[in-house]
Chain A
Amino acid sequence: MTGHDVVFVLVGLLTAGGAVLTVTSKNLMHAALFFAVTLGGIAGVFLPLAADFLALVQIVVYVGAVAVLFMFGLMLTRAPIGREALDGQNRGLAMAVAGGLFVVLSTLVIGAFGDLPTAEVTGPRIDDLGIAIFADWVLPFEVLSMLLLAALIGAIVLARRETGESGEELTVTRIEMAQDRDPDALEREQAALTSGSGGDGEEHA
Chain B
Amino acid sequence: MEQPLWVPVLQAVVVFAYYLLITAVLIWAERRVVARMQSRLGPNRVGPFGILQTLVDGAKMFFKEDITPGMVNKVIYNLAPLVGVIAGFLVVAVIPIGGEVTLFGETFTLVVADLSIGVLWILALSSIHVYSVFLAGWASNSPYPLLGGIRSSAQMISYEIAQGLAVASVVIYAGSLRVSDIVAAQSGPGFIDGVPAWYAIPLFPAFLVFVIGMVAEAGRPPFDLAEAEGELVGGFNTEYSGMRFGMFMLAEFMSVVTMSAIVVPLFLGGPAGPTFGLPDSVAWVMPILWFFLKMVGFIFFFILLRGAMPRYRYDKLMNLGWKVLIPVALVWTLVTATFVLIEEAGGLPAGTRLGLAVAAAVILLVLLFGGRASAPDTRSVAKAPDITAGRTPALDEPGSADLQATDHQEVAP
Contacts and interface: CB of A to CB of B under 8 A. Distances in A.
B157 A190 contact: no
A99 interface: no
A162 interface: no
Interface in B357-413: 379-380, 383-387, 389-391, 393-394, 397, 399, 402-404, 406-408, 410-411
Contacts of A16: none
A202 B43 CA distance: 47
B385 A174 contact: no
A68 B157 contact: yes
Contacts of B393: 186, 190
A57 interface: yes
Interface string B111-150: 0000111001101101110110011001000000010001
Contacts of A72: 150, 153-154
B390 A56 contact: no
A71 B387 contact: no
Interface residues of A, number: 37
Contact of A60 (B123, B150, B394): B123
Interface string A134-153: 00000000000000000000
B402 to A, nearest CB: 8
A191 to B, nearest CB: 12
A60 B167 CA distance: 13
Contacts of A171: 379-380, 383-384
A21 to B, nearest CB: 13
B391 A177 contact: yes
Nearest to A75: B150
B394 A57 contact: no
A64 B154 contact: no
Contacts, number: 110
Nearest to B116: A52
Contacts of A180: 386-387, 390
A178 B407 CA distance: 7
B124 A60 contact: yes
Nearest to A177: B390
A180 B157 CA distance: 33
A22 B299 CA distance: 41
A148 to B, nearest CB: 14
Nearest to A74: B138
B177 interface: yes
A190 B403 contact: yes
B406 A190 contact: no
Given A64-B127, A193-B399, A174 B138 contact: no
A174 B150 contact: no
Interface in A40-90: 52-53, 56-57, 59-60, 63-65, 68-69, 71-72, 75-76
6 contacts: A52-B116, A63-B127, A68-B130, A71-B138, A179-B389, A179-B394
Interface of B: 76, 115-117, 120-121, 123-124, 126-128, 130-131, 134-135, 138, 146, 150, 153-154, 157, 160, 164, 177, 379-380, 383-387, 389-391, 393-394, 397, 399, 402-404, 406-408, 410-411
Given A53-B120, A64-B123, 10 more contacts: A33-B135, A57-B120, A60-B124, A60-B127, A171-B383, A174-B387, A177-B390, A178-B404, A178-B408, A203-B410
